[in-house]
Amino acid sequence: MDKNLSPSLPQVTADPNQIRQVLTNMFVNSAQSMPKGGDLRVETSKVKFKELVQVDIIDTGVGIPPDNLKKIFDPFFTTKKSQGTGLGLSISLTYIKNHSGDIFVQSEVNKGSTFSIVVPIRQKGKALMKDEELIS
């Protein structure tokens, strides 16, 4: 895995267990999309002119056909047959939406996929909710 992590990201307020689960789901999906090997890259950045932090997970896997792109966040949708429940991306999107964020995907068959997770920067003076921590 190749990493290009911004050295000066602002803090975000988040439930670390939910964020960890989202990233785990994304990494597992990327690895499974590259059964013969490939490249996995993670990049972090602050979104220009917006109070958002972005995490991009980029793989050189099999890609996602356009018809499936519309359904990948639907509960129980899977192309993995016996390997998956079809809940990983659905749960991931729910967790990120719980953080007032979003997940975007770009994919090209036989070239790979990029999943972009965006979450708001911690608002100064915002009280931490139960189970939330500051994540740097």
State the pTM of this model.
0.87
Contacts of 76 (CB under 8 A, 6+ apart): 85, 86, 87, 90
User: Are 74 and 88 contacting, i.e. CB atoms less than 8 angstroms apart?
Assistant: no
One digit per residue, pLDDT tens: the chain, 136 residues?
A: 899 989 889 888 889 999 999 999 999 999 999 989 999 999 999 999 999 999 999 999 999 999 999 999 998 888 776 677 778 899 999 999 999 999 999 999 999 999 999 999 875 555 666 676 667 6
Q: 57 has which bridge partners? A: 42, 115
The predicted structure's pLDDT at residue 124: 53
Residue with tokens 């994919």: 107
The predicted structure's pLDDT at residue 1: 83
134: how many CB neighbours lie within 10 A of its CB? 11
Domain definitions of the chain by residue range: 2-123
Assigned fold of 2-123:
Heat Shock Protein 90 (3.30.565)
Contacts of 60 (CB under 8 A, 6+ apart): 34, 38, 39, 40, 111, 112
The predicted structure's pLDDT at residue 109: 95
